[in-house]
Amino acid sequence: MAVTIELPILPVTSVGSFPKPPYLQQARIQFRRGEISYEKLHELELQATREVIAMQEEVGADLLVHGEMG
């Protein structure tokens, strides 16, 4: 089933990656060292994704992106 999205003529979105928050950068280092589990890393990636989506909603973006956090 196809989904139709109504967008303005010139929709506002973002292209590319958002900066990773320091806590996610640190978590990735900790994961590589075996200091945290994949589940904990994934939880922090989801948190960073929610934060970047909330920021886009705040500024009124029309088409939201995940920011390549995961």
Domains of the chain, by residue range, sit at 22-59
45, 24 contact by CB (below 8 A): yes
Q: What local confidence, expressed as pLDDT, does residue 47 receive?
A: 96
Q: Is the dihedral of CA 17, 32, 41, 44 positive or negative?
A: negative
Q: Work out the pLDDT band at 67, boundaries 50, 70, 90.
A: confident
Query: The whole model's pTM is what?
Result: 0.84
